[in-house]
């Protein structure tokens, strides 16, 4: 039986590149996204099953968990995320509460709900690995710049979720890590960023490969180095 992976936000940016990467490696890929009808060429990739998922809505997450409860999943990559507004809307004195709350629903709460909904499938998988896509701006000890309050706080919250899950799931043999994918050229990121989505997928794949219970609960950069919380 082929290895299986579920990727959220799977038809754009890093998610699309991860879908292509694992399809090419012969994996069964559950490509979860809000609009499967917009998947384009991804829909034709071997081993890819498109699944409708809006991570902002817990009922959608629960429905996906029910759909997949009898299918083993080796790896879950919680990739779907939002900035939570533009840079001005996230600056000191300019924060927007509703956009901030949306960032927390998508970036922080949804990954935990995904794990809860898919726990039976993860327990039945062989690899038992979870990757939460985070960001260097979530680090408390590596401040690059100010602002981005919605995004950075929601990703810092995600890192806290990672630590909690690593503790709670250790007895099930499930490993969990947060990953900073680097500065990636995507619609959400910087168009002139030095890393393209395909490179990011390779880097993240290498971290998936090395993740085990001994390094569960850590925060890794795209190059495999550990980032201080």
**Euclidean distance between CA atoms 199 and 201, whole angstroms:** 5
| pTM, full prediction | 0.96
pLDDT for 1 = 58
Give the list of residues 6+ apart from residue 191 with CB closer than 8 angstroms, or none.
185
**Euclidean distance between CA atoms 162 and 218, whole angstroms:** 8
Please pick, among 22, 30, 149, 151, the residue that the annotation labels catalytic.
Answer: 151
Q: Which string of b and e fits 114-137 if b means at least 16 CB within 10 Å?
A: bbebbbebbeebebbbbbbbbbbb
pLDDT for 192 = 83
| DSSP-assigned letter for residue 113 | H
Asked whether 179 and 151 are in contact (CB, 8 A), the reply is: no
Q: How far is CA 139 from CA 87, 88, 153, 219, in A?
A: 18, 21, 10, 9
pLDDT for 86 = 87
**Euclidean distance between CA atoms 59 and 187, whole angstroms:** 27
pLDDT for 224 = 98
* HEC readout, 140-203: CCCCCCCCCHHHHHHHHHHHHHHHHHHHHCHHHCCEEEEEECCCECCCCCCCCCCECHHHHHHH
Question: Mean pLDDT in each 10-residue stretch from start to end of the chain (229 residues)?
Answer: 92 98 98 97 98 98 97 98 89 94 98 98 98 96 85 98 98 98 87 94 98 98 96
pLDDT for 188 = 77
89-101 pLDDT, tens digit per residue, is 889 999 999 999 9
Asked whether 206 and 160 are in contact (CB, 8 A), the reply is: no
Check if 149 is active-site. no
* CATH classification code of 4-221: 3.40.50.720
């Amino acid at each position: 039986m082929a290895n299986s992976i579920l990727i959220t936000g799977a038809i754009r940016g890093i998610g699309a590149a991860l879908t292509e990467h694992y399809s090419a490696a012969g994996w069964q890929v559950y490509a979860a996204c809000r609009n499967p009808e917009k998947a384009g060429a991804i829909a034709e990739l071997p081993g890819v099953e498109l699944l409708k998922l809006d991570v902002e809505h817990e009922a959608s997450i629960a429905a996906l968990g029910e759909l997949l409860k009898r299918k083993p999943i080796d790896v879950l990559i919680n990739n779907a995320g939002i900035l939570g507004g533009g840079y001005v809307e996230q600056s000191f004195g300019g924060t927007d509460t509703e956009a901030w709350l949306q960032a927390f629903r998508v970036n922080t709460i949804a990954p935990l709900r995904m794990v809860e909904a898919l726990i039976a499938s993860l327990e039945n998988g062989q690899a038992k690995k979870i990757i939460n896509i985070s960001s260097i701006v979530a680090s408390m000890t590596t401040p690059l710049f100010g602002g981005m309050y919605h995004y950075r706080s929601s990703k810092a919250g995600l890192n806290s979720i990672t630590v909690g899950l690593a503790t709670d799931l250790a007895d099930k043999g499930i490993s969990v890590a947060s990953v900073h994918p680097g500065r990636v050229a995507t619609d959400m990121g910087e168009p002139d960023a030095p890393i393209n989505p395909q490179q990011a997928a390779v880097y993240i794949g290498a971290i998936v490969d090395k993740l085990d219970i001994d390094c569960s609960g850590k925060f890794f950069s795209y190059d495999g180095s550990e980032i201080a919380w």
